[in-house]
């Protein structure tokens, strides 16, 4: 506690935080709605449903998306409910890392924290790059003077500009961030509704039920493009799940912002599961509107499964531009929220001295913002996306292999780190000190379901998304490789070395800034 401050002067939130060992360093001015808003903004159906649609289309087609989204979403909600119980008990900025350390020890916390940080930086990179791609499309649609054709270099430059813009917004004010996230919720609700309305009313014809729910596609090059083989069912089709798994992620932001949220033990917990629930419903309706707007399945497949191809088939350029603009703005809101979440995680992890240069990343400016953490996470997001400058196409259609890779890195990093505290909470059983919001014993079946889903989808995220990226294929080239297993594997090896050479000698997990003997 600050010198001279009595325990009785603290709010309930500050007392709870003090019981976990921390002083109130960040501004606690976020409402429960703002906490929900940031997770809802990061999930962003206007981002994931648009930018990663190709993963679903190329690896299963309309049927994979129409059936896969609701099934995977139910499993993700189970994961989110398990995490809601954890954040209610331990509402700290460290979130997942803190929970893992508390329940599983310093080593579990160390690896969990790094997986979380890697995942958040990859999600920031993927959303910002998707936003840049769609902004380039919008400018090309509305401006006759905009340079014709797709340019990797131009898109990357826009990507860097977007990262700089959201970093400046994040550094400026936490109050401004809360306002932006509140606006973002209504933009996503109204924007998605408008897009759905346009796709229902403007196209002269719509796809049939059989086209949407029974048509399969294999645009990967694996198994000769067949959609009825065992290989398709167990190798290609599962990759379509990453569309849902990637879109409905980042909801751990509610935990990372819990130290800035009023009544966090209840508000942050509800922020997690509600953001998943409402995004799952809205996202499914939005995806169905895409699928029913398809005029030519083969044309979309030749276009690499891009949503822009669907829109161009169904409407004239004016309506296409409006839809793309709504999505691009939503993606910018999402990028801003992703930057906030990544910087808060780095702040918390550095506060416990688990990151090299922790003095820099745990420092807050006069506005109580971890400005250095904002800048370094934005820089790392740009670095891991550098492979996007390499031109890649399959069957003449540009395919964003690097984008799909950072998507997969985000999925693997985030969901594996979620698994650690969920496992230890399950293991703790009735000895776990539940918070104000809890599962009332349902963790006994929810936790194992969540763990199995995470393990399966994390393995799937390592699969190559093109036959040309498989080492055993005669046409193998490095530019087609899904570099997720390379990057994640290399980082884990380095962390293993770092742990055994140095970290285990001094790292004991979360550091208590304050000692509170009795909060009664």
The tens digit of pLDDT for each residue in 129-142 reads: 999 999 998 988 88
Question: Cα separation of 225 and 133, whole Å?
Answer: 28
Question: Cα separation of 154 and 175, whole Å?
Answer: 33
State the number of CA atoms in the 13 A half-sphere of 415 facing the CB. Answer: 30
**Which among 14, 33, 34 is positioned nearest to 92, based on CA atoms?**
14
Residue scoring higher pLDDT (60 or 304): 60
Give the per-residue pLDDT at 34: 81
Give domain status of residue 182, yes or no.
Answer: yes
Question: Cα separation of 173 and 28, whole Å?
Answer: 13
Please check the confidence at residue 238 and state whether its pLDDT lies above 50: yes
Residue scoring higher pLDDT (146 or 450): 450
Give domain status of residue 344, yes or no.
Answer: yes
Give the per-residue pLDDT at 508: 85
**Which among 387, 380, 65, 101 is positioned nearest to 211, based on CA atoms?**
65
Residue scoring higher pLDDT (310 or 435): 310
Give domain status of residue 263, yes or no.
Answer: yes
pLDDT digits (tens, 9 = 90+) for 363-388: 888 777 888 999 999 999 999 998 88
Give the per-residue pLDDT at 94: 67
Give the per-residue pLDDT at 58: 94
Give the per-residue pLDDT at 1: 45
In Å, what is the CA distance from 456 to each residue of 245, 250, 251, 450? 11, 19, 20, 10
Give the per-residue pLDDT at 498: 92
Q: Residues 245, 73: contact at Cβ < 8 Å?
A: no
**Quick one: pLDDT band at residue 266, thresholds 50, 70, 90?**
confident
Q: Look up the CATH number of the domain holding residue 277.
A: 1.20.1740.10
Give the per-residue pLDDT at 191: 94
Give the per-residue pLDDT at 517: 42
For residue 428 the two structure tokens come to 């703790």
pLDDT digits (tens, 9 = 90+) for 396-407: 555 667 788 888
Tell me the three state secondary structure of residue 410: helix
Give domain status of residue 96, yes or no.
Answer: yes
Question: Cα separation of 275 and 247, whole Å?
Answer: 12
Mean pLDDT value across residues 278-304? 95
pLDDT digits (tens, 9 = 90+) for 15-50: 767 776 667 666 676 778 888 887 888 888 999 999
Domain span including residue 330: 43-462
490-499 long-range Cβ contacts below 8 angstroms, 24+ apart: 491/114, 491/118, 492/111, 495/110, 495/111, 495/114, 499/107, 499/110, 499/111
For residue 238 the two structure tokens come to 């599962």
Q: Residues 361, 376: contact at Cβ < 8 Å?
A: yes
459-464 long-range Cβ contacts below 8 angstroms, 24+ apart: 460/238, 460/239, 460/241, 460/242, 461/242, 461/245, 461/408, 461/411, 461/412, 462/408, 462/412, 463/235, 463/238, 463/239
Give the per-residue pLDDT at 147: 62
Q: Residues 274, 77: contact at Cβ < 8 Å?
A: no
Question: Cα separation of 84 and 442, whole Å?
Answer: 13
3-state secondary structure 109-162: HHHHHHHHHHHHHHHHHHHHHHHHHHHHHHHHHHCCCCCCCCCHHHHHHHHHHH
Highest-scoring range by mean pLDDT, 4-13, 164-173, 178-187, 492-501? 492-501
Give domain status of residue 469, yes or no.
Answer: no
pLDDT digits (tens, 9 = 90+) for 301-329: 999 899 999 999 999 989 999 999 999 99
Give domain status of residue 126, yes or no.
Answer: yes
Determine the angle formed by the axes of helices 371-384 and 106-142, rounding to 10 degrees. 70
Please provide the average confidence, as pLDDT, over all residues in the chain. 88
Determine the angle formed by the axes of helices 484-501 and 106-142, rounding to 10 degrees. 150
Give the per-residue pLDDT at 516: 44
pLDDT digits (tens, 9 = 90+) for 95-126: 788 899 989 999 999 999 999 899 989 999 99
Give domain status of residue 229, yes or no.
Answer: yes
Give domain status of residue 273, yes or no.
Answer: yes
**Quick one: pLDDT band at residue 79, thresholds 50, 70, 90?**
very high
Please check the confidence at residue 359 and state whether its pLDDT lies above 60: yes
Q: How many domains, the chain?
A: 1
- Tally of CB atoms within 10 A around 517: 6
């Amino acid at each position: 506690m600050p010198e001279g401050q009595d325990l009785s002067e603290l709010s309930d939130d500050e007392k709870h935080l003090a019981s976990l060992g921390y002083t109130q360093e960040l501004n606690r001015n976020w409402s429960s709605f703002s906490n929900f808003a940031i997770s809802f903004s990061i999930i962003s159906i206007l981002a994931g449903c648009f930018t990663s649609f190709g993963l679903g289309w190329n690896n299963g087609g309309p049927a994979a998306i129409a059936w896969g989204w609701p099934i995977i979403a139910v499993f993700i909600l189970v994961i989110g409910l398990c995490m809601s119980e954890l954040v209610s008990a331990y509402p700290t900025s460290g979130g997942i890392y803190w929970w893992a350390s508390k329940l599983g020890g310093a080593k579990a916390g160390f690896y969990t924290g790094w997986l979380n940080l890697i995942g958040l930086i990859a999600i920031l990179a993927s959303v910002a790059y998707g936003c840049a791609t769609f902004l380039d499309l919008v400018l090309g649609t509305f401006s006759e003077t905009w340079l014709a054709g797709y340019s990797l270099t131009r898109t990357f430059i826009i990507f860097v500009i977007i990262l700089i813009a959201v970093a400046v917004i994040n550094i400026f004010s936490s109050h401004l961030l809360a306002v932006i996230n509140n606006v973002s919720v209504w933009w996503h609700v109204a924007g998605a509704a408008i897009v759905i309305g346009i796709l229902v009313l403007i196209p002269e014809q719509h796809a049939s039920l059989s086209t949407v729910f029974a048509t399969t596609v294999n645009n990967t090059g694996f198994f000769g493009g067949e959609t009825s083989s065992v290989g398709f069912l167990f190798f290609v089709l599962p990759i379509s799940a990453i569309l849902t798994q990637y879109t409905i992620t980042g909801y751990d932001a509610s935990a990372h912002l819990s130290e800035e949220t009023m009544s966090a033990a209840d508000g942050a917990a509800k922020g997690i599961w509600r953001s998943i629930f409402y995004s799952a419903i809205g996202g499914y309706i939005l995806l169905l509107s895409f699928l029913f707007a398809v005029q030519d399945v083969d044309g979309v497949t030749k276009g690499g499964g891009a949503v822009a191809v669907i829109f161009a088939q169904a409407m004239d350029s004016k309506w296409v531009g409006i839809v793309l603009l709504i999505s691009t703005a939503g993606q910018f809101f999402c990028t801003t929220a992703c930057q906030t979440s990544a910087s808060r995680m780095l702040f918390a992890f550095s506060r416990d001295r688990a990151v090299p240069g922790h003095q820099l990343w745990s420092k807050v400016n006069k506005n109580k913002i971890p400005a250095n953490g904002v800048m370094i996470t934005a820089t790392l997001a740009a670095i891991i996306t550098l492979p996007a400058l390499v031109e890649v196409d399959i069957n003449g259609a540009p395919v964003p292999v690097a984008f799909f890779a950072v998507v997969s890195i985000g999925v693997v990093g985030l969901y594996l780190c979620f698994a650690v505290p969920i496992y230890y909470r399950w293991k703790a059983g009735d000895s776990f000190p539940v918070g104000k919001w809890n599962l009332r014993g349902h963790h006994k079946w929810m936790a194992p379901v969540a763990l199995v889903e995470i393990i399966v989808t994390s393995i799937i995220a390592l699969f190559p998304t093109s036959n040309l990226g498989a080492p055993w294929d005669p046409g193998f080239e490095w530019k087609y490789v899904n570099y997720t297993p390379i990057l994640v594997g290399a980082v884990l090896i380095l962390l293993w070395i770092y742990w055994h050479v140095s970290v285990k000698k001094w790292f004991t997990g979360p550091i208590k800034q304050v000692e509170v003997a009795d909060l009664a």
